[in-house]
Structure 1
Amino acid sequence: MKRTLLLLTMKPSILVGGQAVIEGVMMRVPGAYATAVRDPDGKIHIQKKKFQSITERSNFWKRPILRGMASLFEAMKMGMATLQYSVDIAMPEEGEQSKIAEFLSTVFAIGLAVTLFMVAPMWITTKLMNIEKEALWFNLASGAFRILFFVVYLLAISLFKDVNRLFRYHGAEHRVVYNFESGKDVNVE
C-alpha cells in the first residue's frame, strides 16, 4: 500500500518504460509490469505481474558493469515472455511452440543479427575496401555499413503487415510514456 501511494504521489518522476508486443503493449514501472493484448475478437486481455530486479535484491549485481548486464538480461527475459504471451492471445491458431523450437528460433535470430550487423559490415570493410590499417576510416566505413544494413532491414520488415502493425503499437507506447511523463492525460486522442 505504501509503495502504491508513493508511486501515485510521485507520478511525474516515475520511470516508465515499455515495448510493443503483437497486438498490444507492455508497460513497466518500478516494481511491476503489465501487458495489454487485443485478441482476434477485439477483446483486450491484461496481464499484470510484480517484478523486483535482481539489482534491488543483491548488492553483488549493483556494481556498474554487472548492473548493466543484469538489466539487459532481465529486459530481454521480460520482453521475450511478454512477446510470447501476446502471441498466445493474439494468434491462438499458431498453437504452442515447443521449447526446442523457441530455442532454435532465438538462436537463429541472434545469429542473423550478429551476421548482418557485425560480421558482414566488418567483412565488407576489410575485403572490399582494404582499409583495415586506417583505423578511423575503417571504423567510419564499418559504421556506415551497419547503419545502411539497419535502415534497409527496417524498411524491408516494415513491408510485412504484422510488423507494420507492431511498429504502430511501438509508436503508441512512446506516446503513452511521453504523455505520462509530461503530466498530460493518457488517452486515445
Structure 2
Amino acid sequence: MTNSGIGGQAVIEGIMMRNKSNYSIGVRKPDGEIAVEIYPYENFIHAPGLAKIPLIRGVVAFVDSLVIGLKCLMISAEYFAEEEDEETKKKQAEMSADELAEKKKKEKKQEDLLMTGTLIVSLAAAIAVFMMLPYFVSDFASKYIHSKWLVSLFEAVFRVVIFLIYLLLISRMKDIQRTFMYHGAEHKCINCIENGLELNVENVMKSSRFHKRCGTSFLVYVILISAVLLMFVQAESHIMRIVLRLLLVPVIAGIAYEFIRLAGCSENRFVNALSKPGLAMQKLTTKEPDETMAEVAIAAVEAVFDWKTFIGENFANA
C-alpha cells in the first residue's frame, strides 16, 4: 500500500477530506444532491514549523484535527437546519449591506467563541474521564491493594476498560451508526486509491473499511501508551502524581501520533502487529457504507486530490 497523504473524517451526512493546503466537505443534502465545498487549510496556531518537529507535531495535529472537525460539523449541520421563517427573511431583506455585513461578523464571532468553548470543554472532559478518573479510582483502591505496581496495573487496566465501554456505548447509538458508515466510506476511498484502484463506487465498496492512519487508532494508542507509561510514573505526593499525569498528556499524544505516522507508511511485520489493536477498534467506529455514501466520499476526495496522477505515478508498472 502506498501512502497518499490524504486524510479525513465523517461529518453529518457526509465526509471531510484534507490534502495539503485544502480540505473539502462533501454532504448528501436532504433533496439527495451532493454538495461539495472547498476551504483553505490553515494551521490553528499559525506556526507550520511546529508540524515538522517530532512529538510536538503530534499535539499540534491532534488539536488541529479537532478544530477542523468542529468547523466541518457546523458547516454540514447548516444543510439540515430548518429554513428561516418569513419574518427573519423579511428583516434581512430590509437590512442594508453594511448591516448585513455587521450581522455576519457578529455571527462569525459567536461561532468562533462557541467552537473554542466546545473544544476546551471536550478536551477537559476527555482528560478528566480517561486520565484522571482511572487515577482517582486506583488511588481509592490503594487502600486495599498494598503493592504500588499492582495499583498502577489496576489503573492501566481500568483506563483501557473505560475506553472500551465508551466505544461500545457510542457505537450502539443509531445516529452515530450512520456517521460511522460515512467513516467507513472515507476509509474505503483512501484504501481504494492507495491500492492503485480507479476511484469509482464499485472499487470503493470492495475496499477495506479499516485504515492504520485512522483517528480511532490514534486514540487507542493514546490510551495504551498512557496505560504503560503511567505505570512507571511514581511519586510520593498525591498532587505531584496528578501534575505528572497532566504534563504527560501531550507527550503521550505525541508518541501515539509518531506511531500512527510510522504505521501509515510501513508494511513491517512488527509494525503491522502493533497496529492490530487500533484496527480492531475500528470494527466499532466504522460500519459498511452504502453506495450513496461512497458517492459522497468520492466527490469529497476528487475536490482536493488528483487520484489519477497519484495512481499513474505510483502504480504505472503494477
In 2: Cα distance, 1:54 partner to 1:106 partner: 12
CA RMSD of aligned residues (A): 3.1
Matched, 1:146 2:132: no
Code of the residue aligned with 1:71 in structure 2: it is: A
Q: Rg larger in 1 or in 2?
A: 2
Query: Match of 2:140?
Result: 127
Alpha-carbon deviation of 1:181? 0.7
Matched, 1:14 2:8: no
Query: Match of 2:199?
Result: 186
Matched, 1:25 2:15: yes
Matched, 1:64 2:48: no
User: Aligned pair in 2 of structure 1 residues 67, 114: CA closer, same or farther (>3 Å)?
Assistant: closer
1:51 maps to which of 41, 54, 72: 41
Matched, 1:92 2:105: no
Structure with the bigger RCO (C-alpha within 8 Å, sep 6+) is 2
In 1: Cα distance, 2:194 partner to 2:24 partner: 17
Contact 1:24/1:38 (8 A) holds in 2? yes
If each structure's strand is expressed as a fraction of its own residues, which one has the higher value? 1
Query: Match of 2:174?
Result: 161
> What percent of counterpart residues are identical?
32
Contact 1:55/1:61 (8 A) holds in 2? no
- Once the two structures are superposed, residues 127-180 of structure 1 have per-residue CA deviations (whole angstroms, 9 ceiling, x without a partner) of 125448523x33332222122112211222223221111111111111111111
Matched, 1:76 2:75: no
Contact 2:141/2:151 (8 A) holds in 1? no
- Once the two structures are superposed, residues 67-121 of structure 1 have per-residue CA deviations (whole angstroms, 9 ceiling, x without a partner) of 33332332222222112111112x2139989545544444443333222211211
Code of the residue aligned with 2:18 in structure 1: it is: R
> Which consecutive residues of structure 2, in runs of 5 or more, have no partner in the other structure?
85-106, 203-318
Q: What's the TM-score, normalizing by structure 2?
A: 0.48
User: Aligned pair in 2 of structure 1 residues 24, 59: CA closer, same or farther (>3 Å)?
Assistant: closer
Q: What's the TM-score, normalizing by structure 1?
A: 0.76
